[in-house]
């Protein structure tokens, strides 16, 4: 096996219980307060809720709601009789679905932090790996190989943690050492999707993380690259091309931006307070903070806008006849809005994990050939002296996966268990015509998780025991990072840098011992 696409460095030294949240829910619908365990001591004292883990449904001043877990950890759930049931989408096996991104900016957050979350919904057999790329310096004028095309490299790039389909160069979601987080979504508009290969939306996402120190700077990076190189190319590891344009949710410690594109055109909305979500559709209306300079004249020239009255980007650029996948996205978008609204003022990392685990709405997706293949939640404290904490699953189906904490710091290195094998020049993405063969890209944790899911479905007792181990491991990660932010845990730099790797190792061991 040879080098990865682009020849990148792969390692270096450089509350409440939410709806459907496995981490805070127990069988029978009872919730428990969350405690930091010292070793295996169940009597350890609870730490102050700096990540906002508590045990009630509904924000301050809102009607309290009870949530009943589904048959397995974190599955959908239902609300008690007498409460209003949210108008959520059903996930028909024939309804194509895709990603959902969420962000909470104070005062919507329960703590003084911006909280970011994303589910990546992709072909159900696609493997997603978690890759750490250290900061780097590069030769002036050098070129950088992305998934399909080369771009001009910059002199310095930031360290990034990426969750990505293992066959491509970019990423579905990720964060950098400066606390910038980005997630992307597929979208189809009146602007035709080009047939040629260019930058994937996932390439744009990674390039922005490597080159920006704020969400606003990341927006400028993406729009500049979009103007210069365009977007295009197949987004699936399949000989039949599947292409789309992209929307992005960008966040940092102080604010968030929604960026929605149509070809090289775009509009962006700044989010300085409150909660926001995106789900495979144009969602920016008349509240446009910044836009491509030719956006309105192009719409007029095409006959999509008469130049009179308010300019509604979503209305002007959305397809008149929406594909089935986008009609399904509307219901998921509304469900996501309603869940965020229910938690206004009380949104935490664990609340976001619960939303990502919600199957009834289709946000935690398992529909035909698609499913949620990886998930991520990030806590970005407004206090710059506190570290940002990023929780990643590296495995499919967040309702039966563990969110594991990652923190940038000295000594951070690649966790080998979540790194897929490489195939060099023989990789089907590199040989022409592309994708004529398939290779096994499963990493060690993915294989163990596959076996664990099989056990959960074939042996109820052993499956429940394994799910309990998942819950306990996730809670330990939540409470450890809670203690860190509360200044009640002072790990060494080496401990901090190896935190994610340690949790990945323990999860892998749990699956191995259960098999």
DSSP secondary structure letter of residue 191: S
Helix H or strand E segment including 250:
strand 245-251
Interior angle at CA 131, CA 370 and CA 477, nearest 5: 85
Return the axis-axis angle of helices 444-458 and 499-514, rounded to nearest 10°.
Answer: 40
Which among 122, 268, 364 has a CA at the least distance from the CA of 276?
A: 268
Token representation of residue 453: 């899911």
Q: Would residue 235 show up in a list of annotated catalytic residues for this protein?
A: no
CA dihedral of residues 58, 60, 64, 68 (deg, nearest 10): 30
Which among 336, 427, 417, 479 has a CA at the least distance from the CA of 35?
A: 479
Token representation of residue 61: 């001043």
Residue 188 · residue 328 · CB < 8 Å: no
Strand stretches in 12-93, DSSP E: 67-68, 78-79
Find all residues with CB under 8 Å of 11, minimum gap 6, and list them: 132, 134, 413, 414
Catalytic residue among 99, 101, 364, 388: 99
d(CA 127, CA 125) in angstroms, rounded, equals: 6
Token representation of residue 183: 């997630």
Find all residues with CB under 8 Å of 39, minimum gap 6, and list them: none
SS3 113: strand
Q: What is the set of active-site residues?
A: 99
């Amino acid at each position: 096996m040879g080098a990865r696409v682009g020849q990148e460095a792969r390692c270096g030294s450089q509350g409440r219980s939410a709806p459907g949240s496995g981490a805070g829910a127990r069988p029978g619908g009872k919730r428990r307060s969350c405690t930091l365990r010292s070793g295996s001591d169940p009597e350890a004292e609870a730490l102050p809720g700096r990540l906002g883990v508590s045990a009630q449904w509904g924000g301050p001043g809102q009607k309290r709601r009870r949530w009943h877990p589904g048959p397995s950890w974190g599955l959908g759930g239902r609300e008690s009789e007498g409460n209003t049931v949210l108008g959520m989408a059903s996930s028909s096996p024939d309804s194509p679905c895709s990603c959902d991104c969420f962000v909470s900016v104070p005062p919507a957050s329960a703590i003084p932090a911006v909280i970011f979350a994303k589910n990546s919904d992709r072909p159900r057999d696609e493997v997603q790996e978690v890759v750490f790329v250290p900061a780097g310096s590069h030769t002036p004028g050098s070129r950088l190989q992305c998934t399909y095309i080369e771009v001009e490299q910059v002199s310095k790039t930031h360290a990034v943690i990426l969750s990505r389909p293992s066959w491509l160069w970019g990423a579905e979601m990720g964060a950098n050492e400066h606390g910038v987080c980005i997630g992307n979504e597929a979208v189809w508009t009146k602007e035709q999707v080009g047939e040629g290969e260019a930058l994937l939306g996932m390439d744009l996402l990674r390039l922005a993380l490597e080159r920006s120190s704020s969400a606003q700077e990341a927006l400028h990076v993406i729009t500049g690259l979009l103007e210069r190189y365009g977007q295009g190319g197949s987004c699936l590891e399949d000989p039949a091309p599947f292409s789309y344009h992209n929307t992005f949710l960008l966040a940092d410690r102080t604010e968030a931006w929604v960026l929605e594109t149509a070809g090289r055109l775009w509009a962006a909305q700044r989010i300085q307070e409150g909660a926001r979500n995106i789900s495979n559709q144009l969602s920016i209306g008349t509240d446009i903070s910044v836009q491509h300079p030719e956006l309105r004249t192009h719409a007029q020239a095409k006959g999509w806008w008469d130049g009179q009255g308010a300019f509604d980007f979503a209305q002007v650029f959305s397809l008149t006849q929406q594909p089935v996948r986008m009609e399904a996205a509307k219901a998921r978008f509304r469900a996501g809005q309603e869940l965020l609204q229910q938690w206004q003022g009380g949104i935490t990392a664990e609340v976001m994990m619960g939303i990502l685990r919600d199957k009834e709405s289709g946000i935690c997706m398992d529909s035909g050939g698609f499913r949620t293949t990886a998930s991520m939640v990030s806590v970005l404290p407004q206090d710059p002296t506190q570290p940002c904490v990023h929780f990643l699953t590296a495995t499919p189906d967040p309702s039966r996966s563990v969110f594991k904490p990652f923190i940038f710091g000295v000594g951070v290195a690649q966790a080998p268990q979540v790194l897929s094998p490489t195939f060099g020049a023989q990789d089907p993405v590199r040989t022409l015509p592309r994708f004529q063969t398939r290779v096994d890209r499963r990493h060690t944790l993915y294989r163990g998780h596959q076996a664990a899911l099989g056990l959960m479905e074939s042996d109820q007792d052993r499956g429940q025991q394994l799910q309990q181990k998942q819950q306990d491991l996730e809670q330990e990660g939540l409470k450890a990072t809670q203690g860190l932010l509360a200044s009640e845990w002072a790990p060494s730099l080496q401990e901090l840098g190896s935190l994610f790797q340690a949790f990945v190792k323990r999860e892998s061991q749990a699956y191995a011992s259960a098999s």
